[in-house]
Amino acid sequence: MLSDQVCVEVRNLSKIYEIYARPVHRLMQTLFCGTRHFYREFRALDNVSFRVKTGQCFGIIGMNGAGKSTLLRMMAGIIRPDQGEILIDDLPVYENEEAKKLFFYISDDSYFPPNYTAVDMVRFYRNFYPEFRIKLFHELMDQFHLEKKQRISSFSKGMKKQLLVIIGVCAGTKYLLCDETFDGLDPVMRQAVKSLFASEIMNREFTPVIASHNLRELEDICDHVGLLHKGGILLSKDLEDMKFHIHKIQCVLGGRQQEKELEKELQVLKVQHQGSLLMITARGTRSEIVEKVQAKNPLFMEVLPLTLEEIFISETEVAGYEIKNLF
């Protein structure tokens, strides 16, 4: 269940990679002992900070190359950050076995040993997660129509993703870190996974963190979404709060003077004109915005539904970013 207690904290996280055009350049860098540089720097993450609350389904949205996988690998303690720290239940993650017992990490490109079956994978993971729920594993394998003793190498990409989700949930950890979990799943399986996550959140202390390039996949399951762009967090907000406080109105007013007055009275994010039709996206409650528009005695007025994509685009444009192609 969702609470106000912060369970995961990412503080000022940064990571810079050295990119070499040719393998020999790495050798030359070593020989010259850093007196000359044969690489270019790539900043994968730049001063990233956010908090996750207990029982919250936290989404990280960003296009390919935004730094999502790097961020999750750091949260899983696989990569050491150049700057900053990650705390899970107040424990630093990197090189901390106690902290790593608290979460299960599902990579976008997970490795399975040759000839391994699902049963073999469970036997392997039970060495690290003693609270593994074996009964639930068998129930979910049947529910998802996956063969327990079939070689995983014969599974499709979607089937492998389903298997990892099942194992991750059955590991019984408080936290689940998911990198592009819904990628490769058909619509029915995507909904099944979302329902499974929702059930776990309702029935025990369970907090998933899900990274995806597809905002639509996160919209109906996540409580909070952080937008990662070029290695930095552009915004991090509760979805319901965003939907409640941003609205789009289309109206026809008596003249340009009324339009100017309305734009000054509202917290305008975006203004569009189509002939005499005025479309305003503004921040505020629905009743507040409608009241101010109606005070101008419009010839016509209508409140239009906003998609989450439109809300994100409006927010980021106000911050000075043009990322319409992100979604």
* DSSP line for 40-69: EEEEEEEEEEEEEETT--EEEE--TTSSHH
Q: Same CATH fold, 242-326 and 49-230?
A: no
The CATH code for residues 49-230 is 3.40.50.300
Angle (CA) 280 315 262, round 5°: 25
* CA nearest to 238, candidates 229, 220, 226, 247: 226
CATH of domain 242-326: 3.30.70
pLDDT given at position 326 = 47
128 CA to centre of own chain? 26
**Cβ(42)–Cβ(19) below 8 Å:** yes
Residues 230, 67, 239, 83: what is their CA dihedral angle, to the nearest 10 degrees? -90
What the block records as the tokens of 212 is 């995806």
Reading the chain (327 residues) residue by residue, the pLDDT tens digits are: 667 899 999 999 999 987 777 777 676 777 766 666 766 788 899 999 999 999 999 999 988 888 999 999 999 999 999 999 999 999 999 999 999 999 999 998 888 998 999 999 999 999 999 999 999 999 999 999 999 999 999 999 999 999 999 999 999 999 999 999 998 889 999 999 999 999 999 999 999 999 998 888 888 889 999 988 888 887 888 888 888 888 999 999 988 999 999 999 999 988 999 999 999 999 899 999 999 999 999 999 999 888 878 887 777 666 555 555 444
CA distance 192 to 138: 16
Q: C-alpha distances in angstroms, 160 versus 64, 80, 134, 163, 184?
A: 21, 28, 18, 5, 9
Token pair 């949205």 is found at 61
267-283 residue pLDDT tens = 998 899 999 999 999 98
Distance from the first to the final alpha carbon of the chain: 30
> Which of helix, strand or coil describes residue 309?
helix
Give residue limits of the domains in the chain.
49-230, 242-326
The Cα 196–Cα 190 span in angstroms is 10
Alpha carbons 60 and 108: distance in angstroms, whole number: 14
State pTM to two decimals.
0.83
231: left (phi over 0), alpha (psi -120 to 50) or beta: left
CB 238 within 8 A of CB 211: no
Q: How far is CA 238 from CA 4, 14, 226, in A?
A: 13, 24, 9
Report the largest interatomic distance among the alpha carbons of the chain, rounded to a whole angstrom.
Answer: 76
DSSP class of 305: P
Tokens for 153?
A: 């190498």
Give CA–CA dist 19/66, Å, rounded. 16
- SS3 state at 133: coil
Q: pLDDT digits over 7-16, tens only?
A: 999 999 999 9
50 bridge partner residues: 10
What pLDDT shows up at residue 327?
47
Instruction: Please give the Cα distance from 174 to 141 (Å, whole number).
Output: 21
Work out the angle at residue 299's Cα, subtended by the Cα atoms of residues 296 and 300, and round it to the nearest 5 degrees.
Answer: 100
Structure-token pair, residue 219: 């919209």
What are the structure tokens assigned to 193, written together? 């996974």
Which residues, in sequence order, are bridge partners of residue 177?
A: 105, 209
Pairing, β 83-88 against β 91-92: antiparallel
